[in-house]
């Protein structure tokens, strides 16, 4: 349920055009010699990365490899949790060495997921550089981390939740701001 006043939530059409723009912005940021790979952070970063790869192929003709990163084992609160969260396989069937890695996630909030993702991906190899692309960048950072590319930037008080919905997982596309 959207909270009032709902700060610019996204409908399916807006999400499609936002992804188009993100793909174009990403291409504009890359040097021709850079070899790009997309790493989607499970769970909603992965379908976003897969969609971006399709858009990149359509615009540049290049087949950009897509990997899946599960950050559970790198969480900073893992040993303090009640019960152990499910770990799903990380799938990176290509080298990260000297590549430009684009981390893809749905929402950037505290920055802790991205911190964990950086640790996780560096265990797989030493990239040339790492960029961060998110669908929604919301306020509330707890670590010095920022997005290079964001579909939408919103100021949201701590009591509310920015939810990115994807048809692959949720059956429909969209961004909503909800009360927790």
Partner 1 sequence: MTSERYVFPHKHLLGIEPLSPQDITALLDQARAFEEVCERPSIKIVPALRKKLVVNLFFENSTRTRNSFEIAEKRLSAEIINFDADTSSLNKGETLIDTAMNLEAMHPDLIVMRHSAPGAHALLARHMKASIVNAGDGAHEHPTQALLDAYTLRKKFGKLDGLRVAIVGDIRNSRVVRSNLWLLTRMGARVTLVGPPTLVPQEMKATWPGIQISHDFDAVIPEQDAIMMLRAQFERGTGAYIPGQGEYSRFFQLNPARMKRAKKDVVVLHPGPINRGLEITSDVADGPNNLILDQVTNGVPVRMAVLYLLSNPHGEQVP
**How far apart are CB 22 and partner 1 at their closest, in Å?**
22
| Binding footprint of partner 1, residue count (CB under 8 A) | 28
Q: Which is nearer to partner 1, 124 or 128 (CB)?
A: 124
Which residues are paired to 135 by β-bridges?
none
One residue of 14, 25, 60, 112 binding partner 1 per CB under 8 A: 112
User: How far is it, in rounded angstroms, from Cα 54 to Cα 18?
Assistant: 14
135, 87, 125, 113: CA torsion to nearest 10: 40
Considering beta carbons, is residue 1 or 82 the nearer one to partner 1?
82
Identity of the residue, 116 or 150, whose beta carbon is nearer to partner 1 in the bound complex: 116
Strand (E) or helix (H) holding 40: strand 36-41
Among 50, 119, 168, 178, binds partner 1 (CB under 8 A): 119
CB 131 within 8 A of CB 145: no
**Contact pick of 14, 27, 30, 124 for partner 1 (by CB under 8 A):** 124
Cβ 163 to partner 1, closest distance in Å?
Answer: 10
From residue 177, how far is each of 11, 37, 109, 142, 152 by CA, in Å? 12, 30, 13, 20, 12
Please list, in sequence order, all residues whose beta carbon lies within 8 angstroms of the beta carbon of residue 44, skipping any fewer than 6 positions away: 105, 106, 164, 166, 169
- Selected range binding partner 1 among 15-23, 117-125, 148-156, 170-178, rule: CB under 8 A: 117-125
In the complex, the smallest distance separating the C-beta of residue 105 from partner 1, rounded to whole angstroms, is: 11
Q: How far is the CB of 51 from partner 1 (least distance, A)?
A: 21
For partner 1, the binding residues in 74-93 under the rule CB under 8 A are: 74-75, 77-79, 81-91
Torsional sign, CA 68, 69, 73, 75: negative
List of residues contacting partner 1 (CB under 8 A): 43, 70, 72-75, 77-79, 81-91, 110, 112-113, 116, 119, 123-125
């Amino acid at each position: 349920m959207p909270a009032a006043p709902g700060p610019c939530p996204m409908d399916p059409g807006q999400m499609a055009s936002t992804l188009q723009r993100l793909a174009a912005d990403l291409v504009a940021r890359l040097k021709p010699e850079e070899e790009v790979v997309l790493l989607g952070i499970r769970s909603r970063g992965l379908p976003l990365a897969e969609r971006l790869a399709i858009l990149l192929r359509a615009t540049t003709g290049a087949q950009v490899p897509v990997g899946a990163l599960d950050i559970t084992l790198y969480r900073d609160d893992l040993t303090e949790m009640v019960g152990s969260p499910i770990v799903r396989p990380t799938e990176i069937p290509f080298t990260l060495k000297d590549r430009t890695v684009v981390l893809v996630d749905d929402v950037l909030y505290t920055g802790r997921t991205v911190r964990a993702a950086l640790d996780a991906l560096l265990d797989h190899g030493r990239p040339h550089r790492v960029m961060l692309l998110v669908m929604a960048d919301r306020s509330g950072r707890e670590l010095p981390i920022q997005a290079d590319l964001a579909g939408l930037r919103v100021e949201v008080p701590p009591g509310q939740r920015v939810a990115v919905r994807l048809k692959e997982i949720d059956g429909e596309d969209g961004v909503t701001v909800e009360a927790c």
